[in-house]
Amino acid sequence: MAGSQITGTNYIAGSPTAYPGGSTQLTPAIQTLWSKEILFQAMPILRMEQFAIKKTELGNAPGTSVNFMRYNNLSPANQLVEGIRMVPQSMTGSQFSIQVAEHGKAVATTEFLLNASFDDIMATAARLLGRNMALYLDGSARDTMLQASSILFGYNKPALSGALRTPLSPYDHGVPATQNTDLVAGNYAFTTALVKDATLTLAQKNTPRLGDTYVCFINPGQSRELRDDPEFIEVSKYAQPGSFMLGEVGRYNDAVFIETTQVEKKFVSGSSTKTYMDAIMIGDNAFGHAISLPVELRDSGILDYGREHGLAWYSIWGFGLITDQSVVILETNLQVCSWKFSNELRKGHVGASQGIGLVPTVVPLGEQQGA
């Protein structure tokens, strides 16, 4: 017996819409099946959302916002004296809320395509919708964390390549930029010195760790720079391998690094050519994710007597920054190794296998030809 075009299994009717006649809506069972498929397809992409503080009260009660209480620390204790009563201190705090809103994306297909295509159209739709949801969800989490006020900048270590060598040279990281416009120089890199500055900033604010470490989200290019440092420990070289975080590539100085392309390239303030990227390091309780309706699959109902079919992921959620001091933004240029070919190699006068005409050059990302 041939499998269904929707799931590829024999457990659902072979009709392209999984129902006799092909002109009715998806049943709750099918909606649940493909809602789980969307979540499954999204899992390999999600990086930042896994660290959010999730609140689901709106799933059981009406409303469009979730309230959070943030209590202030108590004043220092003191030594007691016999015969003198302790004076209690009132607990103080502040309340803030996360607003929720509708989110979703839809695709459409036809009954004719479902019957004529050699591909599993519904499975493809689930993959595309799952990827779309993951990118959108992680992007929303990233934009929320970028609202934090604490910003550090990269070090101009690449600018020292022509400097006179001294006994301190192996440990000289250069100097950090002091503002975004300094990054127009294009040589402020993501170095271990910046990682130390970030963990110091969080530690001085008494920011709790996420387990044993802080977590830093970096672009693959920034990860490439960090791997050049011999002190960086790749995930495959851990002394005691255990359960890894999704996307974890290594650790250094009490920080775990998670690689994601959600750390995007941006233009330096006042420039249309020079670019930078802003990595994010967080501690515990940094941002929240209020969920009123989990992600689910919706169909568009009966359209044109069943000749048209529409599918969408739909959810109601909201993100909000909970603790500003638990987030540090790290702005750096991106240095990459670019091989420039000589005219002879471009024209084919010299065989590429001979390795002649290759000149290694380090140039900022965004200034390469075709970048």
DSSP 33-62: HHHHHHHHHHTTT--SGGGSEEE-GGGTS-
pLDDT at 344: 37
Give mean pLDDT, residues 117-132. Answer: 81
pLDDT computed for residue 19 by the predictor? 37
pLDDT average, residue stretch 76-94: 90
**The predicted structure's pLDDT at residue 33:** 55
- Rounded percentage of the chain residues whose pLDDT exceeds 90: 28
| Mean pLDDT of the region 9-16 | 37
CATH number of 151-162+170-286+325-334: 3.30.2320
**Helix (H) / strand (E) containing 287:** strand 287-299
Give the long-range contacts of residues 174-181, CB within 8 A, separation 24 or more.
176/152, 177/153, 177/331, 178/153, 179/153, 180/153, 180/268, 180/269, 180/276, 180/331, 181/268, 181/269, 181/270
Split at pLDDT 50, 70, 90, the class of 270 is confident
pLDDT of 100 higher than 70: yes
Answer left, alpha or beta for residue 222, where phi above 0 means left and psi between -120 and 50 means alpha. Answer: alpha
Q: Mean pLDDT lowest for which of 141-145, 285-289, 341-345?
A: 341-345
The two structure tokens encoding residue 20? 């006799």
For 240, list phi and psi in degrees, rounded to 5.
-130, 80
Rounded distance, CA 30 to CA 19, Å?
10
Q: Tell me the per-residue pLDDT of 309-342, one tens digit each, with 9 for 90 and over.
A: 888 899 999 999 988 999 999 999 986 543 333 3
Query: Bridge-partner residues for 99, per DSSP?
Result: 65
Out of 25-34, 37-46, 196-205, least confident range: 25-34
Q: What is the pLDDT of residues 126-169, one digit of tens each?
A: 788 888 888 899 999 999 999 999 999 999 887 776 666 666 56
Does residue 210 register a pLDDT over 70?
Answer: yes
User: Rounded to whole angstroms, what are the CA distances from 137 to 89, 103, 197, 247?
Assistant: 42, 9, 29, 16
Q: What is the mean pLDDT of residues 27-52?
A: 66
Residue 179 has pLDDT above 80, yes or no: yes
Residue with the bigger pLDDT between 354 and 36: it is 36
Per-residue DSSP letter, 210: B
Q: What is the pLDDT of residue 120?
A: 79
pLDDT at 278 over 70: yes
276 within 8 A of 263, measured Cβ to Cβ: no
- Reading the block at residue 24, the tokens are 């009715």
More confident residue, 197 or 9: 197
| Residue ranges per structural domain of the chain | 151-162+170-286+325-334, 335-371
Q: Is the pTM of this model over 0.85?
A: no
